[in-house]
Structures are given as structure tokens and as C-alpha cells.
A and B are shown apart, each in its own frame.
Chain A
Amino acid sequence: MSDSTCSRRDFVATTAGALAATTLVPSLGAQPPVTRPMGAVKVTAVKTYKLRQALYVEVQSDAGVSGWGECAPNNKDVVQVFVQTGLVQHVVGRSVWDSEPIWHDCFYANSDLGPSGPLLNAIAGIDIALWDLKGKLAGVPTWQLLGGRYRERQRVYGSFAVDGGRRMTADQAARKAASFVERGYTAVKLRMQIRERNLNPHPDPTIPYVKAVRAAIGPTVELLVDINNGYTAARAIERGRWLQDEMGVRYYEEPTSMQQLHELAQVSEALDLFIVAGENEHSRWQHRDLIDIAKVDVLNPDVSKAGGITEVKRIAALGQATSKRIMLHNTRPGILTHASLAVIASISNAAEYLEYSDPDDYQSLTALSAETLPVVNGELVIPSRPGLGIELDPAAVARAVVA
């Protein structure tokens, strides 16, 4: 090994120690910088932060550097308890470089509680934090540790939801879509949120909402439509044809129930549209079934739901083996968006879009970091700072905790 490499390693450890000395672990404040091989750094603690709009996870290390992760926000209380009572003991004391074995132990120690949902959401937060931590320790962006970079920026679609018509009127939806376009977005996604419990509604709100949004954004902006599981196969096929032929839609998300993979296969076989699904599938095994049974065209895992960066990289590999593109589900600016971009940078089969919610709707989160990634010409620039490249203010995060 060259001398320069050796001195670099010392430098990294020293920088990490210096970080510890002043900032992230106040109790170590008076200690001298740590000098040790980077490969020996261990996890010392896992902290959760329940915020109004997110659940954050901090993984602390004995080098004094922390990594930050995010769990899906669906039931923050349940997931927080899951992290604290089911996972922490499989993480603390372990090498930060053993992110896969940690994932494995967290999963198999708890999979009796269901191999999806809260368990995978909880693992996601820890896994994302570990990847952030590894990048910071190495002084390299996380994507560099994930197999390198295929792209430097990623186009996004502005995503918004209408709760089956209850949250906003068609006019309001049209205005929301137009506001994205005014800010430079080249694509928007209308989430109908019809759901299984309102199956095949009549009249179908999809028709007036899609018409209103398309009229507002014009013919050239990409319009993606998410039914959120609200149709049976026959209705999904009928509506999909109309969306494609009359409304210029190319991406058609979760038209049928997430419990009915054979129905989704019927839809996939009947339509030329790209069928998108995967936000409700949280493991490589569930995504295998989306591929083999549901025959979807595009996989839509969420890094904060589907077991974090480790598992989504695996899902991406499955997609590569079966010619499926990955269009990440991503509903939060901040940590989750940074984690999503790290994955996207490092996979060959990233789809043309990443989901992005309006950051103006998540100011309680964007206030926690030095800057929010700007959407420029409809794209996010993939950060190249160490780790996930997000500079959170730990004190601000602590202050933002809610009961």
C-alpha cells in the first residue's frame, strides 16, 4: 500500500475524532482525536427522533461520527418502538461496515412479526443511517461505496395526492400541478388514492381530475397517474386505455389491489402503458413476485419502506436480471431524497423519474438542514459530499421532536 493511502486513513480517523470532540457526541468533548483503522469503527448507539412529518434515526459510532436515516412515516409510533425494542440490540456494538449482516439479523430476529411493513420500515431507517455513516467515515459519497455513479442528476416528477377527491377539488389539483410546472418540473404525478375500500367508484373521480390536470399542464408535460389500488382488473384495463389514448398517460401506477398480483398481471398483459408498482412491496421476495406474477414493467420501491439502501440495491439487481426499471417512491425531501439519490446514482436501471413531493409542504423537515436540494430544470443534482451529502443540524432535529 502506498504511503499516501496510509496517511489518508490516519487523516480520516483523525477527522472523525475531531468531529466527535466538538460536535456530535458532547460527552467525548475533552478527548483527543481517535486514531485507529477505519475498518474497526463500531456502532455505539441508535437514536430515534419522531418528528411531525418524519421519523429520523441516528446511528452513532465510536469514531464520533453519526449517520442519519429515515423510516417511512406511516405509523411513527409503531416503527419507533420497533427500532428501539426489536432492532437496536442487533446494531449496537457491531462494525459499521457490517451493514448487510446487521440487516440480516434485524430481519430474521423479527420476521415472525411479518416480513413487510413496520419491520422493513424500521430496518430502513437504520440501514440508511449506516450507509450515511460509512460514507462520512470514508470521506466519500455513499454512492461511491454502492458501486459508483451512472449519472450526476436525476429528473423528478412533482407528486401530489387528492385522497379520492376528498383532499382537494379537481380545480385545486389542476392548480397544484400547474405550480410544479411553473417551478420547472417537467412531469407531475396525480395520486388518486382511491384505495381498495372504495373499489371501482362510480362516478370515477379519476376522469374529471385527470382531465383538469392535463388541461392545466398542457400536452407536453408528462402526467403519471396513480390509482392507489382502487380498481378491479376490468376497470383498470378500461381506464388505462382511456388514460393512454385520450390523456397521453404513459405510467399507470397500482391500478389494482396490492393483494391481487394476478389481477395486476391481467392489466399488464392487456395494456401497452408502463405498469408501475412496488411502494407496498418491501422486500426482494415481494418484488420478485411483482416481477414473476404481476408482470409489472417498472418497480417502485421506497428506500424508507423497503429495508433501506441495502434492500433496494438488491431489488435493483433483480430488476436488472429481468429488464425492469426502478422508479423510486419518495415522499419526503431531506434524508429520504438524499438516500434515494444515492441509490439512483449507483444503479444502471434507474427509470427516467424519481418521485418528489413539494418541499414547500414539508418545511418542518427542510428547516432541519442547511439547504434543500433545488429542482433545476426539473432535475435534482445528485450530491457528492461525503455520506448522503445532507448536512442536518442535530440540535434542530432534537428540538423538533414531537410526543
Chain B
Amino acid sequence: MSSAAFRVPNGSAAAETDRRAWLRSALARGAQAAPTDVTIAKVETFRMDDALFVKVTASDGSVGWGETDADNPPIMDAFIQNGLRQRVTGQSIWDAERLWDTMFYRQHDHGPGGALAGSISGIDIACWDLRARLLGLSVSQLLGGRYRERIRAYGSFGVGFGRNMTVEQAVAQARTFIAQGFTAVKLRMQMRELNQDSPADPVLTYARAVREAIGPQVDLLVDINNGYSAARGIVMARRLREEFNILFLEEPVSDQTHAETAAVVRAVDVPIIAGEKEYTRWQLRELIVMGQPDILNPDTIKAGGLTEMKKIAVIADTYGKPIICHNTRPTLGTAASLHFIAAIPNCGPLIEFVDVTRHRDLIGCMRRTVVFADGHLQVPTGPGLGVEVDETAVRRRVVR
């Protein structure tokens, strides 16, 4: 298509009627040339041991990539292949919200969170990547614009209630993060409801060792992963704050009992963060209203993707709650979260990130991925998510 075809005579020469006619036809041509009619032609999944990537191909051949929750890739894979894929194929790529509704309301008999929300997330993110690429914009520009270009990240690691990592290994991991440039680390105790209020609780031992290793200047965050009753959560929140100066305490109590969360929030000064196990606008709103946590940490690849996260951010902001994204996947998921964080006012300001040296194989599937420097993750510029998948490399890692 030659751009010259759309040149018009010099302004001063154009008669008013010609000008109006030209404007009308230019606007009409714009609509015609715009990719308004692009539909979703194909939804493919790439299941690896440690991730499920989603590739959406549009009717004009354009491609977008997304990622689901990685807690159970086979289930997400099956959900997309048997339930979601059929609902979106043939639909307009532009109908982000209607596509989301269609996937959700057709399948939510299976439960409105968890597997469904995580599976929707992968398709939704891929569609946003594709839409932004169709317009030559970054996803954050399409989501309403960029409030920031980078975000401080904290290095996050889990010790499996002491089973996955010894105290010495935890110290070494924290030191690795510091060496990489992180200025904050999070110790995930992964205690779970299964060990509620266990007398063998090692949190103080781990927190003491990690605090000593990182020194007083680095921010220390502690995640109990739902292991306490409210009564013990209150006691431990105070001790962790007073003895180790933790920045915030995450999910001290079960995510099933928002009243217990509220009891801890009311009792202690240390900010309480929760929200990684809440999905969709409705569950986050209930957490806000009933649990009243100080900070929310929904996850873009779990809570329903970028469409839903934008709504969650609106609700959080309306109730005065900042968001610090839960973010445990090093490539597409992080890129999506960064564009989301860039496009909301009520950002932490902090984001979770991982030790990339533990994800070398997965990161090897990217021709271009997110940049961590100076303790911060940079929000990728476009087009789309601003990261590029090496499909050949992905195919080599696919599990069948």
C-alpha cells in the first residue's frame, strides 16, 4: 500500500468541501485499513516441566505469546485444550473483555479461581501481546499508559518449611540475591495450613540467619504461606518485626479465613500482604473488604491475566490498597506483570522476582527477555510484551 495514495493537495489549496470529503474518506480508510476484523485463528499450548506457554495466532498471521500459572502445567494445558480454546477461536482479537467473560462464565462451574483463572490468564496475556503488536505499541501503552519505566524487585526463595533448604542454603541464596544486585529479599517459609502452628516452626531461625547474612540495609520480607492461626500470627508478626525488622509479613494465616487475616491486620503494626491465592475481581474485593490486608499481591498469570488484573487494580486503588505483584516465573509472566505494574497508579512499589540462575533452561527459550539491573526490573518497551519467544527452543523442551 503506497502512502502517497493518502497524500492530499496542500492545505491552502484545498477547498473546504474537498477537505471535508477527504477527511471523511481518510477516517473511513483508517477504519478499513485498521486490523479491526482480525480474529483468533489458533490457540496452541507448549507444556514444559516448569511452564506452560500459550501462543495465539490471529487470522492475519500475527502472533502473541502468554503464560499460565505454572503450579500444574498439565491441568492448565488440558483446560485450555478442552474448554477455553474452542470458546475464543474465531472471535475478534479486540474483544478482550468479552473473550474473558466467555471463557469464565462457560467454565466457572469448575470453580471460579485456581485452574480456570490461571488458564484464562495464559490466553488473555497472549491476546494482549498480539493486540499491542498489531498496533505497534507496547502492552502497557495499550493498557492506558506507563506510570513508570522500572520497578524495584525483591529476590524470592522458598525453604519448604525447612525441608527444601537448610538454614545454610537459605543464607547462601540470600547472599546470591545480594550479589545479583537485589536490595530486598523474601524468605518464603512454605509452612502451609498442613503445619498450622507447628511447635517445630523454624521461622525465627531462618529469619535470624538471613537477616544476619544480608545486613541491616537490605529489606527482608517474610512469607508464612498460611501456617498460623490468628493468635500465633499476631505473636509472630510482632517478633519478626521487632527482632528482624521485616518490611512486611505475607499470608500469616489461611487464605480460607479472611476474618483471621483481619484479626492479624488489626492487631499488629507490620504491614500484612495477601492476595496470591485470590483470583478475579470478586475474590480480591472480598479479601479487601473482609480481610483488610494492607497490601495485595495478586499474580498476573494466576488471577485472570491482564484484563482481570486491570480491574483488580481499580478495585484495590478504590479501597486504597497498593499492589505488589506475586511473580514467580522469569520470562513471559514477568514481562506481563511488568506491563501491568507500569500501567497502574497503586503499585507497591516493588515486585517479586526469582534467581534467574535457577531458570537457565527456561530463559534459554527466549530470544529477548526481561532485563534486571541495579536492583530493578525494567518495563520492556514494545512491541507487545517486548520479549521474544524462541519457538524452536520451546519445542525442544515440550513435554508430551
Query: Footprint of B on A, CB under 8 Å?
Result: 1-2, 4-12, 14-15, 18-19, 21-23, 26, 29-30, 33, 37-39, 95, 97-102, 104, 136, 138-141, 144-145, 147-150, 284-285, 288, 310, 314, 317-318, 320-322, 346-348, 370, 384-387, 391, 393, 395
Closest-by-CB residue of A relative to B134 is: A5
Q: A21-B10, A101-B145, A386-B30 are in contact. Are A321 and B98 (CB under 8 A)?
A: no
Contact with A along B316-343 (1 / 0, CB 8 A): 0111000000000000000000000001
B146 touches A98 (CB 8 A): yes
Residues of A near B319 (CB, < 8 A) are 288
For the complex, what is the distance from the CA of A139 to the CA of B383, rounded to whole Å?
17
A4 touches B60 (CB 8 A): yes
CB distance from B315 to the nearest CB of A (A): 5
B318 touches A100 (CB 8 A): no
Interface size class of B (residues with CB under 8 A): 35 or more
Closest-by-CB residue of A relative to B60 is: A4
Known: A21-B8, A95-B141, A148-B98. 12 other contacts (CB 8 A): A1-B133, A1-B383, A6-B136, A9-B135, A15-B29, A18-B7, A97-B137, A98-B144, A138-B135, A141-B36, A346-B97, A386-B30
Residues of A near B137 (CB, < 8 A) are 38-39, 97
B92 touches A148 (CB 8 A): yes
A-B contact list, 30 entries, CB within 8 Å: A1-B133, A1-B383, A7-B1, A8-B34, A8-B35, A15-B3, A15-B29, A22-B14, A29-B10, A29-B12, A37-B136, A39-B141, A39-B382, A97-B141, A97-B146, A98-B144, A99-B145, A100-B343, A101-B147, A104-B147, A136-B30, A140-B94, A148-B99, A284-B317, A314-B318, A317-B311, A321-B282, A346-B97, A386-B27, A386-B30
For the complex, what is the distance from the CA of A248 to the CA of B61, rounded to whole Å?
54
Which secondary structure dominates chain B's binding surface?
Answer: helix
B36 touches A14 (CB 8 A): no
User: What 7 pairs between A and B have smallest CB-CB spacing?
Assistant: A148-B95, A98-B145, A139-B30, A100-B144, A139-B34, A22-B11, A14-B3
For the complex, what is the distance from the CA of A4 to the CA of B35, rounded to whole Å?
10
For the complex, what is the distance from the CA of A145 to the CA of B143, rounded to whole Å?
8
CB distance from B389 to the nearest CB of A (A): 13
Closest-by-CB residue of A relative to B7 is: A18
> Out of A11, A104, A149, which one reaches B95, CB within 8 Å?
A149
A140 touches B10 (CB 8 A): no
Closest-by-CB residue of B relative to A314 is: B314
CB distance from A182 to the nearest CB of B (A): 31
A21 touches B11 (CB 8 A): yes
CB distance from B134 to the nearest CB of A (A): 6
A18 touches B285 (CB 8 A): no
Which residues 94-108 in B have Cβ within 8 Å of A in the complex? Answer: 94-99, 101
> Out of A8, A101, A391, which one reaches B33, CB within 8 Å?
A8
B318 touches A14 (CB 8 A): no
CB distance from A281 to the nearest CB of B (A): 12
Among the stretches B16-24, B189-197, B256-264, B271-279, the one at the interface with A is B16-24
Closest-by-CB residue of B relative to A311 is: B314
Residues of B near A150 (CB, < 8 A) are 95, 97-98
B11 touches A29 (CB 8 A): yes
> Out of A6, A11, A100, which one reaches B145, CB within 8 Å?
A100
- The reply to whether the CB of B204 lies closer than 8 angstroms to some CB of chain A is no
Q: A8-B35, A384-B31 are in contact. Are A318 and B318 (CB under 8 A)?
A: yes
CB distance from B289 to the nearest CB of A (A): 8
A11 touches B6 (CB 8 A): yes
A140 touches B36 (CB 8 A): yes
Most buried by B among A139, A285, A320, A370: A139
Residues of A near B345 (CB, < 8 A) are 100-101, 104
Residues of A near B95 (CB, < 8 A) are 147-150
B136 touches A5 (CB 8 A): yes
CB distance from A32 to the nearest CB of B (A): 9
- The reply to whether the CB of B28 lies closer than 8 angstroms to some CB of chain A is yes
Closest-by-CB residue of A relative to B344 is: A100
For the complex, what is the distance from the CA of A284 to the CA of B281, rounded to whole Å?
15
A147 touches B382 (CB 8 A): no
A139 touches B285 (CB 8 A): no
- The reply to whether the CB of B225 lies closer than 8 angstroms to some CB of chain A is no
- The reply to whether the CB of B300 lies closer than 8 angstroms to some CB of chain A is no
B1 touches A11 (CB 8 A): yes
For the complex, what is the distance from the CA of A4 to the CA of B136, rounded to whole Å?
11
For the complex, what is the distance from the CA of A10 to the CA of B1, rounded to whole Å?
10
Residues of B near A314 (CB, < 8 A) are 314, 317-318
Residues of A near B145 (CB, < 8 A) are 95, 97-102
Residues of B near A8 (CB, < 8 A) are 33-35, 136
CB distance from A8 to the nearest CB of B (A): 6
For the complex, what is the distance from the CA of A348 to the CA of B95, rounded to whole Å?
11
Closest-by-CB residue of B relative to A38 is: B136
> Out of B12, B34, B35, which one reaches A386, CB within 8 Å?
B34
